[in-house]
């Protein structure tokens, strides 16, 4: 069912006890292996190697090497526009797979974020839609969903507890709920879940409170770690909203909230869940539209300072994706009213993928998407963003896509 090439390796040592507990309560007992016959080795007589030196056999390429070669060849064959389109995830509404296919044929994006009007019906109906969209590309398309659990549920049938309830309970319950949720996403045919809220809530008045595990950073970190490890191979998981929406109380869909924290204060609190998820092997981190003036004057989603912290201080090597860039426009700030310039700023800052739902309707706004691509091409031509940076981001994205499942 899933693509097996380039499977992601997990840092299982962080939660071995938890996974054992979850296995005991949620998974069938493995069938014992039949005893094997003793293996007898017959040694051939030693050869006189003084007069005969056999030529060494060429070493076989490892699967990892083969994947990297495949990625390099794919990138080499792309023109600049195709490369840049491969750094975009977009939203196209409706349940008509041909509309999404037509969009991809015109703009070969990395994939789609499926919203409520793409996810009508049960998991079998959604799976059928996705199966008709997948195919025709060298690597599986990203088919992403926001399936956090209550209150953010996109695919029906998710009756498992959400983070707010789980944070007050055991790590075993969190692991079981997130594993079951990932299995639901997999059954529906989606392959990326923007599903782990790593934000430490600032309290009941905070916008993110109902979606956060807790107000205690160490509690959140523990639950984030086991949620990250409780996985199915075909569905990549995402931490959000870096550097932490819990630092602010306002809703970043309506404004760009500002947090009054120093870097050191952040590093000892709101950073902890992201560190835990990264150490547990998470594949994606989503940057949020949050300002922390002590670190950067820009929102984190377009801040090279925050991307540098994520890469260098926290050691994240996976795919960095923005939160929906429409939210910057919705803030009303004059500097963020041009969707093309927002995409340029996001990639220039070091994000690998821009999530941009310019028009979530069933008739895609091709004109705006074309303007975004043209703006990106222009800044690469001018050297504002190097083609080398584009290639590095694209390699990370293709590496991720190579391990994603398809229906």
Q: Catalytic one among 146, 279, 323, 352?
A: 323
CA 115 to the chain's CA centroid: 16
For the chain, 407 residues long, give each residue's pLDDT as a single digit of tens: 443 334 344 444 444 444 444 444 443 333 333 433 443 334 344 444 444 566 666 556 688 899 999 999 999 999 999 999 999 999 999 999 999 999 999 999 999 999 999 999 999 999 999 999 998 789 999 999 999 999 999 999 999 999 999 999 999 999 999 999 999 999 999 999 999 999 999 999 999 999 999 999 999 999 999 999 999 999 999 999 999 999 998 889 999 999 999 999 999 999 999 999 999 999 999 999 999 999 999 999 999 999 999 999 999 999 999 999 999 999 999 999 999 999 999 999 999 999 998 665 667 888 899 999 999 999 999 999 999 999 999 999 999 999 999 99
Query: Which residues, 6 or more positions from 118, have their beta carbon under 8 angstroms from its beta carbon?
Result: 91, 92, 93, 94, 95, 112, 126, 129
Q: Catalytic one among 65, 138, 253, 313?
A: 253
Residue 323 catalytic? yes
Burial 33-54 (b: 16+ CB within 10 A, else e): eeeeeeeeeeeeeeeeeeeeee
CA 14 to the chain's CA centroid: 20
Q: Which fold has domain 65-402?
A: TIM Barrel (3.20.20)
Work out the angle between the directed axes of helices 217-229 and 271-279 (0-180°, nearest 10): 20
If you write DSSP's letter for every residue of 309-334 in order, what string do you get?
Answer: IIIIIS---SEEEESPTHHHHHT--G
Sign of the CA dihedral 302, 306, 312, 316?
negative
Residue 138 catalytic? no
Using an 8 Å Cβ cutoff, are 224 and 240 in contact? no
Query: What pLDDT, in 10s, does the model give residues 283-297?
Result: 999 999 999 999 999
Share of the chain above pLDDT 70, in %: 84
Alpha carbon distance 196, 213 (integer Å): 10
């Amino acid at each position: 069912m899933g693509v097996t090439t380039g499977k992601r390796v997990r840092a299982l040592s962080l939660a071995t006890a938890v996974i054992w507990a979850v296995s005991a309560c949620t998974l069938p007992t493995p069938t014992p292996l039949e005893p094997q016959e003793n293996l007898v080795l017959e040694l051939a007589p030693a050869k006189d190697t003084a007069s005969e030196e056999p030529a060494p056999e060429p070493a076989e390429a490892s699967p990892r090497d083969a994947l990297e070669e495949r990625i390099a060849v794919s990138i080499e064959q792309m023109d600049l526009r195709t490369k840049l389109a491969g750094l975009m995830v977009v939203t196209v509404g409706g349940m008509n797979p041909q509309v999404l296919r037509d969009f991809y044929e015109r703009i070969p994006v990395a994939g789609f974020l499926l919203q409520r009007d793409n996810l009508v019906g049960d998991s079998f109906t959604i799976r059928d839609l996705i199966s008709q969209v997948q195919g025709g590309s060298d690597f599986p398309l990203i088919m992403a969903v926001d399936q956090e659990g209550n209150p953010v549920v996109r695919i029906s049938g998710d009756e498992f507890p959400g983070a707010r309830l789980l944070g007050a309970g055991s790590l075993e319950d969190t692991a079981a709920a997130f594993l079951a949720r990932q299995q639901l996403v997999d059954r529906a045919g989606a392959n990326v879940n923007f599903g782990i809220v790593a934000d430490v809530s600032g309290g009941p008045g905070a916008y993110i409170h109902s979606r956060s595990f807790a107000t205690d950073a160490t509690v959140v970190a523990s639950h984030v770690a086991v949620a990250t490890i409780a996985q199915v191979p075909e569905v990549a998981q995402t931490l959000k909203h870096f550097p932490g929406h819990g630092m602010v109380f306002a809703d970043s869909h309506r404004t760009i909230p500002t947090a009054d924290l120093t870097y050191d204060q952040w590093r000892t609190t709101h950073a902890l869940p992201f560190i835990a998820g990264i150490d547990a092997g998470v594949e994606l981190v989503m940057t949020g539209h949050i300002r922390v003036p002590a670190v950067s004057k820009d929102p984190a989603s377009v801040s090279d300072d925050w991307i540098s912290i994520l890469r260098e201080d926290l050691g994240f090597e996976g795919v960095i994706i923005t939160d929906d860039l429409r939210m910057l426009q919705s803030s009303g700030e004059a500097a963020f009213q041009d969707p093309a310039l927002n995409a340029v700023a996001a990639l220039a800052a070091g994000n690998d993928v821009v999530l941009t739902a310019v028009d979530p309707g069933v008739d895609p706004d091709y004109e705006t998407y074309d303007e975004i691509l043209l703006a990106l091409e222009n800044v690469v031509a001018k050297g504002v963003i190097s083609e080398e940076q584009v290639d590095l981001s694209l390699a990370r994205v293709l590496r991720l896509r190579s391990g994603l499942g398809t229906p």
